[in-house]
Structure 1
């Protein structure tokens, strides 16, 4: 046996156990979800009934699912844009400014990212509380009583209240990523631009953003997928999809169909739909931002 063959066998012996576990616990369950989405199944019966694409047809005639899809789409559109913009601006200010307290600001902005999602949801539930909440109390203290609302009980504002929570949680995380990227930009570029009379805003637009574009592309995909996963916990704890499903998102609706209504086949069809949409959005965002890599 040659040395090359021995080396190949050793590498294979190291990789195969991990590959086996990945196939067993990742790939196989995923394929099972695709298969079970074609059945009428309660999750308990060992003889599910094959119904073909009926679950997928029912999805687009389900008003609650369509409302949850609309809510998720709005969050996925608004939250990443606002979050990444805040993160980028804060990262630029804290990296380039000469504030003595900038290390304190970095810690304060990043702190929400290390908290449990459940803790964040409970904290903001108290902030939004209609009678004891900090938000309404603050509005009343400055004479803006008319602006005080039952934030999590009002169909008009509940989704945007949740969006603020999601933005607050994630902005510090992406800020740290951008700060690391800005630290890697040559200071000579900024010095040359300053000598040419470029303002801080122009430096931000013409140097910082182009030099960070590859990082920004990655964080766009991360933030879009993050809304899908994090919103499940935030919505479940803060509103449970209410009032009247106006804060329902696709992940909470999937969970309720599976574990409340025992409609696992339909829930798996929703899961397949989410998987396909996530892949399409990731590819689309990558394609749309590709022009900035030249």
Structure 2
């Protein structure tokens, strides 16, 4: 009995600091966000006026918010699909094919993930530069030097896709390494049996590799979708600041602007509540849509 009490006390002593920090830095701030969304407050004074759900009423009539909502959805869908597709392809090639310098390619692909968003944004700002940028220099070879330069970060019709490229480049390596770790645990005997049956590389990937690493894919998919909401804010602030003319404004950048630039803190927190609920709802939908019985080998 004394041994059990001592063990329980030791576990509680180990867990308690984490629980306290979680409550202080996660639970309480989240509750405050919900609370402040019910007030009209500039954020820098003591004049708080309780307005109930009026902030939400204004929010759902705000066309700029809906535009940022559409941009966020577009980024989440495109970046998630493209990143996970190429991460799986590259992971399969480096795991299954006998290529020289595999470790070198792993390091090269992973480097963007260890760089800060500010550094990556500086790199892509140089690449997208309309006069001396790499992309326009390459296009100039085919279009001629006198051709009008493409404004990769200034044209409303393409700027969102310029952000997609930067975000995909940053994320591919991390998920590729995760998928490679899962693929290396698949028994080689399964592929040998498939070879004997006449199955090609593509068929083996969809019939053996993909089903056996599906649990990992499902987990990373949910994680990546949620992290894309945060990353899109960082890339927007560093590359475009929401421009041109709000064409790259996303959830969190619009919330930041309302709360800290326009002195509408309560309204900004109302946006934060919607983003919070949307994130959880989207996670639940993704988990439900990708649910399947795990395969064992």
With normalisation by structure 1, the TM-score equals: 0.95
**Matched residue, 1:12:** 12
**Matched residue, 2:143:** 143
Structure 2 unaligned blocks of 5 or more:
none
**Matched residue, 2:174:** 173
Whether the 8 Å contact between 1:213 and 1:292 is mirrored in structure 2 is no
Whether the 8 Å contact between 1:210 and 1:292 is mirrored in structure 2 is no
**Matched residue, 1:230:** 231
Q: How does 1:179-258 map to 2 (within 5 A)?
A: 179-258=180-259
1:39 & 1:208 partners in 2: Cα distance? Answer: 52
**Matched residue, 1:79:** 79
**Matched residue, 1:97:** 97
1:25 & 1:101 partners in 2: Cα distance? Answer: 44
Q: CA deviation at 1:78?
A: 1.1
**Matched residue, 1:117:** 117
2:17 & 2:213 partners in 1: Cα distance? Answer: 38
Q: Is the alpha carbon distance of 1:17 and 1:106 closer, same or farther for their aligned partners in structure 2, counting shifts above 3 Å?
A: closer
Q: How does 1:36-51 map to 2 (within 5 A)?
A: 36-51=36-51
For residues 60-98 of structure 1, what are the alpha-carbon distances to aligned partners after superposition, in whole Å with 9 as ceiling and x for unaligned?
A: 111111111000011111110110000000000011111
How many residue pairs get matched? 294
**Matched residue, 2:265:** 264
1:10 & 1:193 partners in 2: Cα distance? Answer: 51
**Matched residue, 1:127:** 127
Q: Is the alpha carbon distance of 1:240 and 1:293 closer, same or farther for their aligned partners in structure 2, counting shifts above 3 Å?
A: same
Whether the 8 Å contact between 2:43 and 2:263 is mirrored in structure 1 is yes
**Matched residue, 1:62:** 62
| RMSD of aligned residue pairs (Cα, Å) | 1.6
Q: CA deviation at 1:292?
A: 5.7
Give the ranges of 4+ consecutive aligned residues of structure 1 lying more than 4 Å apart after TM superposition.
144-148
Whether the 8 Å contact between 1:241 and 1:248 is mirrored in structure 2 is yes
1:102 & 1:15 partners in 2: Cα distance? Answer: 41
1:147 & 1:106 partners in 2: Cα distance? Answer: 38
**Matched residue, 1:284:** 285
1:227 & 1:10 partners in 2: Cα distance? Answer: 38
Q: Is the alpha carbon distance of 1:292 and 1:140 closer, same or farther for their aligned partners in structure 2, counting shifts above 3 Å?
A: farther
| Aligned partner of residue 142 in structure 1, secondary structure | helix
With normalisation by structure 2, the TM-score equals: 0.95
2:187 & 2:99 partners in 1: Cα distance? Answer: 20
Whether the 8 Å contact between 2:37 and 2:270 is mirrored in structure 1 is yes
For residues 138-167 of structure 1, what are the alpha-carbon distances to aligned partners after superposition, in whole Å with 9 as ceiling and x for unaligned?
A: 111233776951010000000011011111
For residues 223-272 of structure 1, what are the alpha-carbon distances to aligned partners after superposition, in whole Å with 9 as ceiling and x for unaligned?
A: 11121111111110110000000011111111111111111101111111
**Matched residue, 1:22:** 22
